[in-house]
Chains A and B, each alone.
Chain A
Amino acid sequence: MTSTRILTQRRLGAAGPQHVPARRRRRTRGFVQVAGSVAADRLQLNAYAHAYLGLGAALVAVLFYLALAAQVTQSSYDITRLQDQQRQLIAEQDQLRYQEVTLHAPAQVQQSAAQSGMQRSAPVAYVPGQPIAIDLGAPAGASGTDATPLWARYLAALVNKVGGTRDVMAAGH
């Protein structure tokens, strides 16, 4: 038995190998090709024009690549130059650090002190101290009473009033 489908395939058999790839080509055509062919149809471009267009596009791509490569190379030279600058700056920084460390070195401090007329002094005496026991947990006592006689206080108030004097805060902090 032969099915209709098989018969159809047989009928198309001779042209089959040509048609199938054609169908595949249609499937794989991208937007650019479609747009290109549409543009070609509208502009009525022939095969040479297609070739020129292709070559032009390729040339543009090559030029673009070359420009990019040149830019990359230039950037890489810039980076090298900056790295060189960085090395120099680090060297300067190291030098400054050494200067700073040397300025604080005991030898330098001693020399500067000597130039300023300073000299190392030794303690001549130690005062013996009596240990004092303080009970931090004990409650605070009553505040001290003013032992100034009453008459003296009144006299002072009077003098202040007459003389216009006032109590002042102690200077300083």
Chain B
Amino acid sequence: MSAGALRKGAPRVEHVLGARLRILALLMVAALLAGTVWARLAYWQVLRHVQLSASAQAQYHELVQLPALRGVIFDRNMTQLVVNTTVYSAFISPDQIAPAVRDRVAGGLSSVLGVDKAKVMQTLESGKKFAYILRRFPQAKADQLRALKLPGVGLEDESQRSYLPGIAAGSSLAANLLGFVTYDGQGQRGLEQYYQQELAGTPGYISSYRDLANREIVLGSHTHQDPVNGSDLVLSLDANVQYQAEQALADGVKKANAESGSVLIMDPATGGIVAWADYPSYDANNFNHTDPSLFQDNVSSYLYEPGSVMKVVTLSGAINQGAITPSTVINDPGYLNVGGYRIADWDHRNHGNVTYQYVLDHSLNVGAMKAMLAEGHAACYSYLKGFGLTQPSGIDVAGETSVALPAQDQMSDSQYATTAFGQGIGVNMVQMLAAVNVVANGGRYAPPHVVERVGTTVNPLLLKQQRQVITPATAQQMTAMMEDVVQHGSGWTARVPGFALDEAGKTGTSQIPVNGQYTLDVWASYVGFLPANHPKFTMIVVMRKPHVPGSDRDWTLNDGYFTAAPVWQKIAQAMVVDWRITPE
């Protein structure tokens, strides 16, 4: 090989080496680039797989809750007291509304929904993703809004409870009994709260997919669970009687210038509540704009001292015990010293020798105390228990309040004495009415309740045997005594035309204690049943702090016979007509 050839060969080798190096370098660069891409791919597809797939799922997959239809509530005549209606809420997506159309959108929303246009404009300019414009308006407005086809405006439908109108604007029928349902479907107060679980049902769900335009692809793969609708409630309530009671009560409270009043009517045989009225009340359709103090239900959540109505219980116990009879004669000097206290009759008069019939007719405290002493503390306590005054009534309405009596041996003599005529003992109206109803029901305690059926299931209370508290003979004797109260005693203001000889009742008035001292303010009440021997209803009316004109001179004008009994009479009169009750 020549030197020239060698000289020519050296650059060729260098050239080949250089080319190889370049190729290698290129390969390395390519590998590096590819490696970078692969690494990035691995990062997204392997390391971030879980988050990304979840994010993708969230974009096209949707889990929609299917709300269960809340059960409705019927009265005893299957009149619907509550209806589920659909209401609409309007929302906007400000970030999706072009500045050019904002004015049109704000104008449209303002004209249909009556909202302030300037406020809507302000929301539109905020650039938010979502904002409500108005919540819970009726379908008519929703239809108008839909017709405008405003961009970026949406409608959301929601279910709402609608209650029947009450006696006046601003009240709905039986509001304090029924309660209401909040926007998130939670029953509050009354039956809506007590039967929340039964009424609400169980929501279902649907899991489906949506396309880019957010339209549901129904036929795509999805899972579906139907909701279980809530059960309907059938009450023992009578809507017509309820209305009459509310109207008479409102008139009575206004007339007596009272702070408030309540009426409770019961079916004597079953304990089913026929009417449950409070005044003042509220409009459950407009609960979110209501003074919360009006939500208070004074029938079951308010404790009061029943006063002389309690004498029905005391005398029934004593008669049943054989300690007294209606014709037993006692001496009533107008006061009695018990446990170191001198306790007087309401009129502070010496009545001399009187029968127990006279005691009840004229509501004498001394007679009641003597009856209690005749039967003894132990028997008195056991009858208080038997009549259901030592424990809650167990009524199926949320928020019952009661106060337990001290143990039998822990009650002082004076406590027994005042309890005999209904002072110093706190009860709610349900407890008191159920106690007096024992007399109307032939001596048996009918457990008070409002709901007769939940769906197709009958309230088990209706199937249980009622406990016998006093004998039927005692109940009959007490009925006769209560009839006499209407005919010759303080119950004369409750006489229903045609039933003067067939009506049983008892007035009650008790002073309201404030800071341990009794004041001149009173709870005035009247309880009775009609017809006396085969009663169709038992009713109690309570007035709180009545201030009848002229009562500052004569405080007895605030008594039950003058304030509560006329309301009782008015409602009873209406029931006689509505229920076609005839005297016997």
Contacts and interface: CB of A to CB of B under 8 A. Distances in A.
Nearest to A91: B86
Contact of A101 (B83, B240, B573): B83
Interface in A61-88: 72-73, 75-77, 79-80, 83, 87-88
A73 B243 contact: no
A26 to B, nearest CB: 41
Interface stretch (A120-128, A137-145, A146-154): A120-128
Contacts of A83: 218
Given A95-B138, A120-B574, 16 more contacts: A73-B211, A76-B220, A79-B219, A83-B218, A87-B157, A91-B139, A92-B139, A94-B85, A97-B83, A101-B79, A102-B165, A108-B165, A122-B573, A124-B497, A126-B582, A126-B583
16 contacts: A72-B219, A76-B216, A77-B215, A94-B86, A95-B139, A97-B83, A98-B83, A98-B162, A106-B244, A107-B165, A107-B243, A108-B165, A125-B497, A126-B498, A126-B582, A126-B583
A105 B173 contact: yes
Query: Which 3 A-B residue pairs are closest in the complex by CB-CB distance?
Result: A106-B243, A91-B86, A76-B218
B242 interface: yes
B512 interface: no
A110 interface: yes
B415 interface: no
A113 to B, nearest CB: 12
Interface residues of B, number: 35
B239 A105 contact: yes
Q: A77, A97, A101, A106: which has the most chain B beta carbons within 10 Å?
A: A106
A38 B498 CA distance: 108
Q: Helix, strand, loop or mixed for chain A's interface?
A: helix
Contacts of A107: 164-167, 173, 243
A87 B219 CA distance: 19
Interface in B207-239: 211, 215-220, 239
B173 A106 contact: yes
Contact of B498 (A94, A95, A125): A125
Given A90-B86, A95-B85, A122-B577, A102 B219 contact: no
A1 B353 CA distance: 141
Given A92-B139, A94-B85, A80 B162 contact: no
B257 interface: no
Contacts of B217: 73, 76
Contact of B165 (A72, A97, A105, A122): A105
B296 interface: no
Contacts of A73: 211, 217, 219
A119 to B, nearest CB: 12
Contacts of A124: 497
A104 interface: yes
Nearest to B574: A120
Given A75-B219, A107-B164, A107-B165, A123 B497 contact: yes
Contact of B164 (A88, A102, A123): A102
Nearest to B240: A106
Contacts, number: 82
Contacts of A121: 577
Contacts of A94: 83-86
A5 B83 CA distance: 90
Contacts of A91: 85-86, 139, 157
Interface residues of A, number: 32
Interface of B: 79-80, 83-86, 138-139, 157, 162, 164-167, 173, 211, 215-220, 239-240, 242-244, 497-498, 573-574, 576-577, 582-583
B491 to A, nearest CB: 19
A105 B244 CA distance: 12
Contacts of A79: 218-219
Nearest to B219: A76
A85 B200 CA distance: 25
A98 B166 contact: no
A100 to B, nearest CB: 9
Given A91-B86, A123-B498, A80 B216 contact: yes
Contacts of A102: 164-165
A122 B167 CA distance: 21
A125 B500 CA distance: 12
A123 B84 CA distance: 39
Contacts of B84: 94
A102 B216 CA distance: 37
B281 to A, nearest CB: 13
Nearest to A123: B498
A104 B173 CA distance: 13
A110 B164 CA distance: 13
Most B CB contacts (10 A, CB to CB) among A73, A98, A121 go to A98
Contacts of B573: 122
B169 to A, nearest CB: 10
B511 to A, nearest CB: 35
Nearest to A128: B583
Contacts of A72: 219
A122 B173 CA distance: 24
A110 B243 contact: yes
Contacts of B582: 126
Contacts of A92: 139
A108 B138 CA distance: 21
A126 B173 CA distance: 33
A44 B470 CA distance: 111
B457 to A, nearest CB: 24
A1 to B, nearest CB: 64
B219 A104 contact: no
A102 B577 CA distance: 23
A107 B240 CA distance: 9
A105 B478 CA distance: 39
A108 B79 CA distance: 13
Contacts of A110: 243
Contacts of B173: 105-107
A110 B578 CA distance: 13
A87 B143 CA distance: 13
Contacts of A90: 86
A123 B576 contact: yes
Nearest to A108: B165
A98 B191 CA distance: 20
A97 B79 CA distance: 12
B215 A80 contact: yes
B159 to A, nearest CB: 8
B86 A106 contact: no
Contacts of B583: 126
A168 B360 CA distance: 67
Contacts of A105: 79, 164-165, 173, 239
A15 B215 CA distance: 63
A88 B139 CA distance: 9
